[in-house]
Structure 1
Amino acid sequence: MKILVTGGGGFIGSQLVETLIAAGHTPIILDNFSNGRVENLPEGVTCYRRDLLSDKVEKIFKKEEPDVVMHLAAQVSVAKSLENPAEDAAVNVLGTVKLLGYCTKYGVKKFIFSSSSAVYGTTDEVLTEETIASPISFYGTSKLVSESYIKLFGTSYGLPYTILRYANVYGPRQRPDGEGGVISIFIEQLINGETPVIYGDGTQTRDFVYVEDVARANLLAIEHADNEIINIGTNSQTSINLLHSLVSSQLDTIRTPIYLGTRDGDIKHSHLANMKALDILKWEPKYDLITGLEKTVDYFRDDPKR
């Protein structure tokens, strides 16, 4: 199949592109490279450098006629969404709506959307897909609103979809700036001899899922889970304090972190149930946190661009 991957130059998107190629598909990349890197791309892959909101995006649909759209491009920073909610909504909501319109116009067979556990907001519960969504950041809100548009396009125009709600994704190519998550930030700080910073008391927890597992979930969604919302997580949670200890152990270094105040928009706990993914998507994570951290640390040690 020919598959349009928005954000295909990013840390998740580029590894998804490699997964698609290995499975025999033909990926087409749409990315403005505000977060992605050209050097992440496999040689010979068709790539369009465009903003998601550009009217030129329609020409890509007309020329390439993709069978499937995998939509990963987004404004991904919770902090930036709080600083500029209008820009966050423009990219994440309007960008998604425009893509959906092109999908219906040009006969796309399925729309696969990268959403986020940020839609759930603050709760101590294990999060299932039936948990009431109540985001506490504009970023989480923009993802939830996008989900609503996707479902309405599905019912109104017959466009099949799968919505994947990611836990905290980590792994090689994740930048410690921009789209960076706490794991890449800790690794970068410790490699550079800097003192890690933890916001809050460090008892907050996250469900960390390795990027190759996330790429495989997108691949499986081509054939499975039509018109479903699916959590993509490990059904576990790790405190930020423990995470710091694990990363420090991998790097064989000890640095006591600095603790700063809790940031606006940060949730306290995140633990995603993944039974629905196993049942409907036929997916389960292959990497535990220790194995994923080993591969991630090795990448950062060897990356000449770091």
Structure 2
Amino acid sequence: PLKPTSPYAASKLAAEILAQSYYYSYGLPVVTCRPFNTYGPYQKYNLEGGVVSIFVRQTLNGDRLEIFGDGTQTRDLLYVEDCVDFVYTASRSEQAVGQVINAGSGTDISIADLAKLICPDASKIHLVDHRHPQAEIPKLLCDNSKAHSLLGWEPKVDLESGIQKLKEQLQELCV
């Protein structure tokens, strides 16, 4: 059973249920797409979310990378081009209608390991004492098996390549 741990999570679940109700009540073809943590060019890097963009920008600027907590929390990161491909593929599939389908890489990485991957200078990576709110998810890993079985979809851009593309885009914008 789904148990949202924050008002934000509950609002996302409520939106899914509302959309599904149109499918069941009126036959409106609805596909519920659940892309996991999406990152890539033009992602805002000054918000609470968007850890990949935040770390890349901080690295390019020579700033410290601050990890809130111990860095063991994990995320499944999906490059934006793969996300777009997933949504497009799901929207064109008759088999997807009425389904809830996850999209992610199927691999998670700890925030500490992500920082090390992005920033070669370990002295720039700092843990910040932080008590996570109850809603903080310690491990987020996508089961994308339904996307594969129903749609034949799999992500194409690995994390290292996606980070490199993001670095290049931010360098062009002179962050």
- TM-score normalized by structure 2? 0.91
The one-letter code sitting in structure 2 at the alignment partner of 1:140 is A
Per the alignment, do residues 301 and 262 of structure 1 end up closer, same or farther by CA in structure 2, a change over 3 Å counting?
Answer: farther
Is 2:61 the counterpart of 1:192? yes
1:144, distance to aligned residue in structure 2 (A): 0.3
Amino acid at match of 2:28: L
CA distance in 1, matches of 2:106, 2:82: 13
Q: Which residue number corresponds to residue 162 of structure 1?
A: 31
1:95 equivalent in structure 2:
none
Q: Does 1:290 align with 2:155?
A: no
Give the distance between the partners of 1:183 and 1:253, measured in 2 at CA: 16
Indicate yes or no: 2:151 matched with 1:281. Answer: yes
8 Å contact from structure 1 (residues 197, 260) kept in 2: no
**CA apart distance, 1:199:** 1.3
Matches of 1:291 and 1:237 in 2, distance apart?
16
Count of residue pairs brought into register by the alignment: 172
Find the counterpart in structure 2 of residue 299 from structure 1.
169
* Equivalent in the alignment of 1:11: none
Q: CA deviation at 1:182?
A: 0.6
What is the rounded CA distance, in whole Å, between the counterparts of 2:140 and 2:122 in structure 1?
27
Structure-1 separation of matches of 2:138 and 2:167: 26
1:58-137 to 2 correspondences below 5 Å: 132-137=1-6
Relative distance call for 1:190 and 1:253 in structure 2 (3 A) is: farther
1:296–1:196 distance in 2 versus 1, CA, 3 Å: same
* Residues 39 and 79, structure 2, Cα contact 8 Å, conserved in 1: yes
Q: Following TM superposition, by how much is the alpha carbon of 1:301 offset from its aligned partner in structure 2, in angstroms?
A: 1.3
Q: Secondary structure at the match of 1:258?
A: strand
Q: Structure 1 counterpart of 2:113, which letter?
A: L
Compared CA separation, residues 191 and 296, structure 1 to 2 (3 A): same
The reply to whether residue 230 of structure 1 matches residue 127 of structure 2 is no
Highest CA radius of gyration, 1 or 2?
A: 1
Q: Distance in 2 between matches of 1:266 and 1:253?
A: 25
- What is the one-letter code of the residue matched to 1:291? S
- Return the alpha-carbon distance in structure 2 between the equivalents of residues 259 and 169 of structure 1: 24
Write the mapping of 1:189-268 to structure 2, written as runs, cut at 5 A: 189-224=58-93, 225-249=96-120, 254-264=123-133, 265-268=135-138
Distance 1:183 1:140 in 2: 21
Question: Could you list the runs of 5+ residues in structure 2 that have no partner in the other structure?
Answer: none
Residue 257 of structure 1 aligns to a residue whose secondary structure is: strand
Does the CA contact (< 8 Å) of 1:165 and 1:229 recur in 2? yes
C-alpha RMSD over aligned residues: 1.6
